[in-house]
Amino acid sequence: MKPIAQLIMTAAVAVSASVLAPAAIAQEAPDALVKRISNDVINTVKSDKDIQAGNRQKIMDLVNSKILPYVDSQKMTAQAAGRHWRQATPQQQQQLTEEFRTLLVYTYSGALSQIKNETVEFKPFRADPADTDVEVRSQVNVTRGEPITLNYRLSKGPQGWKIYDLNVLGAWLVQTYTSTFNSEISKGGIDGLIKKLRDRNQQLAAKPLAAPQK
């Protein structure tokens, strides 16, 4: 995925430390949630010199504390694995979810320090109050180039709305990983995919973050 796509994906799902009570979070509308988290992450990164300089620990802390609580990692992993998810044992499902979540953490971490002057513009939100699965549409305005279309899929559970898929530059994240998951599972089964993701995460852990763009 192109660096700018990683950047926008990061801005889409990152969220600041919540100052809302749990009940308020559960009642927050999906479009309001996405607007809040998009604005919060951009403001947080722009105000933190360490993150802009590529401080890995601060970036990882930001991702783990402010992104993951608002992402349904298990649903995202299950959809990427498709029919293979139902064939996996509970332990395999847990391991696969953990490794995929870790991969996304590294992906987002590598892009956070690249945020500069981006702004997010949201399209009119249309959904029935009774809906439990919705799409929020937006575009990201960049300093140079055409605006980038960015859409989110969210589902509502007991703890409120959570993001489970993103569309960046016309490609849904889950669908992008589905072919990779299927390929690895066909070669080495669920355990083979878990090992592949674990190996990739170890490589990313040892690799320095990309230098921030000037």
212 in a domain, yes or no? no
Total domains, the chain: 1
187 in a domain, yes or no? yes
130 in a domain, yes or no? yes
60 in a domain, yes or no? yes
214 in a domain, yes or no? no
Q: Residue 173 belongs to a domain with what CATH number? A: 3.10.450.710
Q: Domain of residue 148: give its range.
A: 3-206
Residue 209: its pLDDT value, please?
A: 65
Give the separation between CA 134 and CA 155, rounded to whole angstroms. Answer: 7
Give the separation between CA 104 and CA 40, rounded to whole angstroms. Answer: 19
Residue 206: its pLDDT value, please?
A: 86
Would you write out the chain's pLDDT as a tens digit for each of its 214 residues? 444 455 555 544 443 333 334 444 557 899 999 898 888 777 878 888 888 887 888 888 877 777 778 899 999 999 999 999 999 999 999 999 999 998 888 877 766 666 777 788 999 999 998 999 999 999 888 888 888 888 999 999 988 999 999 888 788 989 999 999 999 999 999 999 999 999 999 998 888 765 545 4
133 in a domain, yes or no? yes
Residue 12: its pLDDT value, please?
A: 47
213 in a domain, yes or no? no
Give the separation between CA 153 and CA 71, rounded to whole angstroms. Answer: 10
What is this structure's pTM? 0.79
Residue 81: its pLDDT value, please?
A: 97
DSSP codes, 51-92: HHTT-HHHHHHHHHHHTGGGB-HHHHHHHHHTHHHHHS-HHH
